[in-house]
Amino acid sequence: MEKEITLQVNAKSFSVDVGSGELLVDVLRDKLGLTGTKKGCGTGDCGACTVLLDGKPVNSCLVLAVSVEGKQIETIESLGDTNHLHPLQQSFIDNGAIQCGYCSPGFLITAKALLDENPNPTEAEIRAAVAGNLCRCTGYATIIRAISAAASLTTEVKSE
């Protein structure tokens, strides 16, 4: 059974036919072509598929597409593009926080949610915020540094 629903993704409206059991991650990737959101496990354990739902980070592999009609969905594609990188993206690049890159979109989206709510997080707060995102390459040190550096950069800009 498929049903047409309207999804608000990255400030645009999409009408899309979805099945009752279809997951948000699959709709984003397969039906809207937004493949920046990655699927690492499909069971909510790794955080690679993290997107923002009304500003809150969620594992999109645990969300039914039909349940998020009317909510604002933000994916990695909304964060910044090649010519206009978000400070977090720039900081991840500058701090060597990206190796294989598969976990990066999930970390970036989680970090954005953190900084939106808490522009000056402590290291412990950063670690707690990204505890649901797994990375196999970096050992997290560069990721924590990158988020921390982006936070101070953003704070400086705001205080100017």
Interacting residues with another protein (CB under 8 A)? 29, 34-43, 45-46, 48, 75-77, 79-82, 85, 89, 92-93, 96, 98-105, 108, 126-128, 130-144
DSSP codes of every residue in 39-93: -S-SSSSS-TTEEEETTEEEEGGGSBGGGGTTSEEE-GGGT-BTTB--HHHHHHH
Q: Which is nearer to another protein, 12 or 136 (CB)?
A: 136
Q: Give the SS3 label for residue 7.
A: strand
Bridge pairing between strands 72-74 and 2-9: parallel
Q: How far is the CB of 142 from another protein (least distance, A)?
A: 6
Q: In angstroms, what is the minimal distance from the CB of 88 to another protein?
A: 8
Closer CB to another protein, 108 or 115, in the complex? 108
Task: Pick the closer one to another protein by CB: 14 or 102.
Answer: 102
Q: How far is the CB of 130 from another protein (least distance, A)?
A: 5
Least distance CB 35 / another protein (angstroms):
4
Give the residues across from 6 on adjacent strands.
Answer: 15
3-state DSSP call for residue 4?
strand
- CB-nearer residue toward another protein: 54 or 131: 131
